Amino acid sequence: MADPDLDFTTGESGASATYPMQCSALRKNGYVVLKGRPCKIVEMSTSKTGKHGHAKVNLVGIDIFTNKKYEDMCPSTHNMDVPSIKRIDYQLVNINENYMSLMSDNGDIREDLRVPENEVGKEIEAKFDAGEEFMVTVISAMGEECAVATKVLASK
Amino acid sequence: MMAAVGAAEVITQLESAAKVLMAPPSMVSTEQRQHAEHVFLSFRKSKSPFAICKHILETSKVDYVLFQAATAIMEAVVREWILLEKSSIESLRAFLLTYVLQRPNLQKYVREQILLAVAVIVKRGSLDKSISCKGIFHEVGQLISSGNPTVQTLACSILTALLSEFSSSSKTSSIGLSMEFHGNCKRLFQEDGLRQIFMMTMEVLQEFNRRENLNAQMSCVFQRFLSLANQVLSWNFLPPNLGRHYIAMFEATQNVTLKPTESWREALLDTRIMDLFFTVHRKIREDSDMAQDSLQCLAQLASMHGPIFPDESAQISYLAHMVEGFLSMINGIEIEDSEAVGISNIISNLITMFPRSILTALPSELFTSFINCLTLLTCSFGRSAALEEVLDKDDMVYMEAYDKLLESWLKLVQDEQHFPRGCFVQPAIQVFNSYIQCHLAAPDGTRNLSVNGISSHEEEEINELQEDDRELFSDQLSSIGMLGRVAADHCIPLLTSLLEDRVNRLHGQLQRTQQHLMASTDLESVDRKVLDDLYEDIHWLILVSGYLLADDPQGETPLIPTEVMEFSIKHSTEVDLNTTLQILGSPGEKASSIPGFHRTDSVIRLLSAVLRTSEVESRATRASLTELLSPQMGKDIVWFLRRWAKSYLLVDEKLYQQISIPLSTAFGVDTEGAQWIVGYLLEKVINNLSANDTVELLVTLVEKRERANIVVQCESWWSLAKQFASRSPPLHMLSSCVQRSLMKALVLGGFAQMDSDTKQQYWAEVLHPLQQRFLNLINQENFAQISQEEAVKQEIVATLEALCGIAEATQIDNVASLFSFLMDFLSSCIGLMEVYSNTPETINLIIEVFVEVAHKQICYLGE
């Protein structure tokens, strides 16, 4: 898939959401698409039926956005789709009606992401209410985006 | 000395503290418990508690308090030893001994503690000679001759306590005394006290042996003394001149062999002792617990060595007597499961602990009988071990015993010079045949057949983390391989004919299945049993062949085994070289279809049989029958080829005294045969790179310069290099360790002999694209922005993996050039760490590159 003549200047557009990888090349704590969802691999084991059977890989993954658990199985020589994961840090500027105002490196502001309804979201709200300045890490994969962590403000 | 009134208070205090400690956790608080513990601890520290302890022992009814009183005495005695009068110590000891004698119903743990206190006193007194064991032994002797089983058991407990205390192992309880002290006590004891214990024990065993029927009580006593005998024979005799710094290490020895000091000559060289143990075993072997002890005693006797033997003839005569006794013990009995391991231990010790020269000095008839017995036992245990596997037993006693016997065989045959030539050939054939039989399916073999002849065919899920057979059974396979070499005339042709037969059958079966599938495409309807049986047969045949034909020494130059070379040389006059090469070069044809096939070199024909297996596999893959193939067999084939290639491919004649003409013609440097094989193996590998084992074969092919020279002449190698460098599918999807090894192989190939133009071209194909792509990428202006793109990340990761592979290819004569190549990358890598600070996996990989470079190159730093 990787084309040696790939033009690296095109930026966001043209990059595919997933790319294939041989099942046996997957690793625990890596990523894989299970039942259509981008997941982090939490368990991976190989087994075969009988001594002379073909190896199958059993995967258990957690949806990186919903935290739901998914399982799947794949013959080890087949390919599976791996999601392209992007992580970007933004500085939190404001929270308005449960939406975050995030400033990127180049000063652009985006306000299209909600404060997530989980521990991370609570952390974001708490820190914001306390008047702290901090970064928010946003993960994006397969067309979805979500804030997943807070970070210490990067020194400019 | 405390007044009687104070004593009563103390007892009350201790008894209520004991109640607290014995109470369930719900009834008492932590503070109360701690307070109670404190009471006992401070009691034990009190000065000269002897009188009060005596009083407690005689008065209190609470066992725990009695226990603590005994402990207090024991600790105080050691602590205050130099302040005490000899007579008071003696009377204390006597008091304690009498105490247990008079109370047969004492709780076991209290009794043991009191006896321990006695033992501690004896030990502490042994050095300054204030106490003599003589008195004790006299008393114990009287207890034994009382004929009262309870009393006799007590006598045994006393002796056991003494033995434990003096053995200076972790059981020793005289804390606070130096290692030197323990060592000196032990040495004194083993010269005198220990032997007295042994003699007393022998007398008891003798006495019981004479009796026809033993009631349960007497049997019990018998068992205790047998166990004591075992402990004596397992004593780790402390040598006279071992420095005190080494004592701890010495005492940590796990498997103690019997190495008594000279003073034990009379006691142990008396053949009546040996006879007694054999007789005892015959008597009690049905009782599996006692049998363990008696077999252990015999095994210890079988391990005897060292200064106890005054000269060689004493050792020979001892061994002869032992072997005779053993043979008559085995003769005519049906071995119990519980005896298997013990018997194998006896044999193993005899073979390991007695020098070759002593074994060969045995009367030849006796030696032959021994070897025959060993052969029969090995085959029998092997069959039973196979049954154990079928039944999937928890405790595989026969497997353990079988392993031990095979280990002994290896020791025997490895040192062939001492033994009459050829004396092991017949036994080797029997053991080898038996092993093969157990591993082949019916009707040729007995694999998976339970006792009533029913074979099982289970399809269980197997976790891939389970060890491969070649590792799990590597010890067995090494021994069997060695035995196969000893009897090469029989074994090599046997393996060849079995393998050729199975491969023919496999070919036929695959063809039939293919036709079946064309009629009905339902894969589930295929009967896997026939195929699986064939695959399993082939699996074992390949493993045994691999272990027979070659070794896999780590770090040494692998050589063709002497016996195999000699075998090939011996028959070379009957061999037609052309036919041999034809058989080698035609893996797609049946061997028997080549005219004159019976006049080929057997070693080469065995290799060809494996190549034929490989060919069937390749053809089936090309015919899209991969689902029907066995990945296990694929692994075995590649494993074999790698192991074989290391020793045989491009044979270096300088390393051998004599070389076999067929082998050097087929595989020597500058031969057509070698070229053909390299090409064949290369094809095999390139078509199946996704498996880990396969790429290792590729590395083997190029890691030796002579082989690499041939490899780089092959077209397929160059196209592989180009393919990899351009990251075309499917190579780019391989797992990271395969990619690394592939890079390593490609770099190793680059150091083969080529003219300078070709070499430049090679590096241009293999290494420069890597550099170019990387530099183009990171030097882009917007690299920081696009760095998180998936395609970019993949490129970076692939480059990093390749760098690791390059580092792994470091050898002494390429370290300089590789280092300078790698240096350019390494400096850029530091910048990458900043860019990928959010991606820990990539950071890890970058660090790994540095580690690999350092690891692989640092050993050549001086060059």
Helical residues (DSSP H) of B311-363, grouped into ranges: 312-330, 340-353, 356-360
- Please report whether residue A40 resides in a domain: yes
Whichever domain contains A99, its CATH number is 2.40.50.140
Q: Which of A10, A18, A33, A52 to mutate to test the interface with B (most CBs of B within 10 A)?
A: A52
Taking CA atoms, B121 is separated from B130, B190, B777, in Å, by 10, 17, 82
Chain A positions in Cβ-Cβ contact with residue B802 (cut-off 8 Å): none
- Among A51, A83, A115, the domain boundary falls at A83
- Which residue in this structure is represented by tokens 């405790």? B395
Residues A41 and A97 in one domain: no
Residue B630 and residue A52: Cβ atoms within 8 Å? yes
- Please report whether residue B410 resides in a domain: yes
Task: Kindly give, in sequence order, each residue whose CB lies less than 8 Å from that of residue B753, ignoring residues fewer than 6 positions away.
Answer: B705, B709
DSSP-derived 3-state class of residue B179: helix
According to the model, what pLDDT value does residue B676 have? 93
Task: Kindly give, in sequence order, each residue whose CB lies less than 8 Å from that of residue B462, ignoring residues fewer than 6 positions away.
Answer: A47, A48, A49, A50, A51, A53
What is the rounded distance in angstroms from the CA atom of residue B254 to the CA atom of residue B834? Answer: 53
Q: Which of B439, B460, B462, B781 to mutate to test the interface with A (most CBs of A within 10 A)?
A: B462
According to the model, what pLDDT value does residue B453 have? 63
- Which residue in this structure is represented by tokens 């002379």? A52
CA of B484, closest CA in chain A: separation in Å?
26
Q: Which one-letter amino acid corresponds to residue B859? A: C
Residue B539 and residue A79: Cβ atoms within 8 Å? no
With a cut of 70, list the residues of chain A below it in pLDDT.
1-15, 154-156
Residues A90 and A144 in one domain: yes
R_g of chain A computed on alpha carbons? 19
Query: Number of residue pairs across A and B with CB atoms under 8 Å?
Result: 108
Q: Which of A25, A30, A137 sits opposite B733 (nearest CB)?
A: A25
Chain A positions in Cβ-Cβ contact with residue B789 (cut-off 8 Å): 8, 11, 15, 84, 86
When divided into structural domains, chain A yields a total of: 2
Residue B782 and residue A9: Cβ atoms within 8 Å? yes
- Please report whether residue A127 resides in a domain: yes
- Please report whether residue B62 resides in a domain: no
Segments forming the whole domain that contains residue A36: 18-83
Residue B791 and residue A45: Cβ atoms within 8 Å? no
Residues A94 and A125 in one domain: yes
B205 touches chain A (CB under 8 A): no
Q: Which of B628, B789, B836 to mutate to test the interface with A (most CBs of A within 10 A)?
A: B789
A52 touches chain B (CB under 8 A): yes
What is the rounded distance in angstroms from the CA atom of residue A33 to the CA atom of residue A26? Answer: 11
CA–CA–CA angle B638, B639, B644 (5° rounding): 95
Taking CA atoms, B816 is separated from B759, B763, B774, B860, B863, in Å, by 17, 15, 22, 9, 9
Residue B729 and residue A1: Cβ atoms within 8 Å? yes
Residue B733 and residue A48: Cβ atoms within 8 Å? no
According to the model, what pLDDT value does residue B2 have? 46
B125 burial type by CB count under 10 A (0-12 exposed, 13-18 middle, 19+ buried): buried
Other C-beta atoms lying within 10 Å of the C-beta of residue B647: 19
Residue A52 and residue B838: Cβ atoms within 8 Å? no
According to the model, what pLDDT value does residue A11 have? 42
Whichever domain contains A55, its CATH number is 2.30.30.30
What's phi and psi for A137, nearest 5 deg?
-90, 125
Residue B462 and residue A84: Cβ atoms within 8 Å? no
Give contacts of A 90-119 with B, CB under 8 A. Answer: none
Q: Which of B528, B633, B733 sits opposite A21 (nearest CB)?
A: B733
- Cis bond leading into B443, ω under 30°? yes
CB B629 within 8 A of CB B522: no
Cα-based torsion angle of the residue sequence A21, A23, A25, A30 in order, rounded to the nearest 10 degrees:
80
The dihedral through the CA atoms of B668, B674, B677, B683 has a sign that is: positive
DSSP state, B420? P
User: Which ipTM score applies to this complex?
Assistant: 0.77
- Please report whether residue A64 resides in a domain: yes
Cα-based torsion angle of the residue sequence B416, B419, B420, B424 in order, rounded to the nearest 10 degrees:
-60
What is the rounded distance in angstroms from the CA atom of residue B584 to the CA atom of residue B681? Answer: 13
Residues A52 and A98 in one domain: no
What is the rounded distance in angstroms from the CA atom of residue B258 to the CA atom of residue B20? Answer: 48
- Among A62, A83, A104, the domain boundary falls at A83
- Please report whether residue B335 resides in a domain: yes
Chain B positions in Cβ-Cβ contact with residue A24 (cut-off 8 Å): 690, 735
Residues A29 and A75 in one domain: yes
According to the model, what pLDDT value does residue B775 have? 87
Terminal C-alpha separation, chain B: 80
Q: Which one-letter amino acid corresponds to residue B224? A: R
According to the model, what pLDDT value does residue B262 have? 94
According to the model, what pLDDT value does residue A10 have? 38
- Please report whether residue B467 resides in a domain: no
- Please report whether residue B795 resides in a domain: yes
Segments forming the whole domain that contains residue B763: 725-862
Q: Which of A8, A48, A86 sits opposite B464 (nearest CB)?
A: A48
Q: Which of B462, B627, B786 sits opposite A11 (nearest CB)?
A: B786
- Please report whether residue B412 resides in a domain: yes
According to the model, what pLDDT value does residue A7 have? 42
Residue A8 and residue B736: Cβ atoms within 8 Å? no
Residues A138 and A114 in one domain: yes
- Please report whether residue B384 resides in a domain: yes
B467 touches chain A (CB under 8 A): no
Residue A55 and residue B726: Cβ atoms within 8 Å? no
What's phi and psi for A151, nearest 5 deg?
-145, 155
When divided into structural domains, chain B yields a total of: 2
Give pTM, 2 decimals: 0.87
A154 touches chain B (CB under 8 A): no
Chain A positions in Cβ-Cβ contact with residue B690 (cut-off 8 Å): 22, 24, 77
Task: Kindly give, in sequence order, each residue whose CB lies less than 8 Å from that of residue B497, ignoring residues fewer than 6 positions away.
Answer: none
B473 touches chain A (CB under 8 A): no
With a cut of 50, list the residues of chain B below it in pLDDT.
1-4
- Please report whether residue B372 resides in a domain: yes
Residue B536 and residue A6: Cβ atoms within 8 Å? no
Residues A125 and A108 in one domain: yes
Residue B735 and residue A25: Cβ atoms within 8 Å? yes
Chain A positions in Cβ-Cβ contact with residue B792 (cut-off 8 Å): 8
Task: Kindly give, in sequence order, each residue whose CB lies less than 8 Å from that of residue B81, ignoring residues fewer than 6 positions away.
Answer: B89, B124
- Among A48, A67, A83, the domain boundary falls at A83
CA of A45, closest CA in chain B: separation in Å?
8
The tokens describing B727, both together, are 């990251």
Residues A79 and A89 in one domain: no
Residue A46 and residue B631: Cβ atoms within 8 Å? no
A84: nearest CA partner in chain B: B790
What is the rounded distance in angstroms from the CA atom of residue B91 to the CA atom of residue B89? Answer: 5
Chain A positions in Cβ-Cβ contact with residue B736 (cut-off 8 Å): 25
B633 touches chain A (CB under 8 A): yes
Chain A positions in Cβ-Cβ contact with residue B462 (cut-off 8 Å): 47-51, 53
Residue B726 and residue A4: Cβ atoms within 8 Å? yes
Chain B positions in Cβ-Cβ contact with residue A88 (cut-off 8 Å): 788
Q: Which of B462, B785, B795 sits opposite A47 (nearest CB)?
A: B462
Residue A50 and residue B528: Cβ atoms within 8 Å? yes
- Please report whether residue A36 resides in a domain: yes
Q: Which one-letter amino acid corresponds to residue B611? A: L
A44 touches chain B (CB under 8 A): no
Chain A positions in Cβ-Cβ contact with residue B734 (cut-off 8 Å): 22, 25
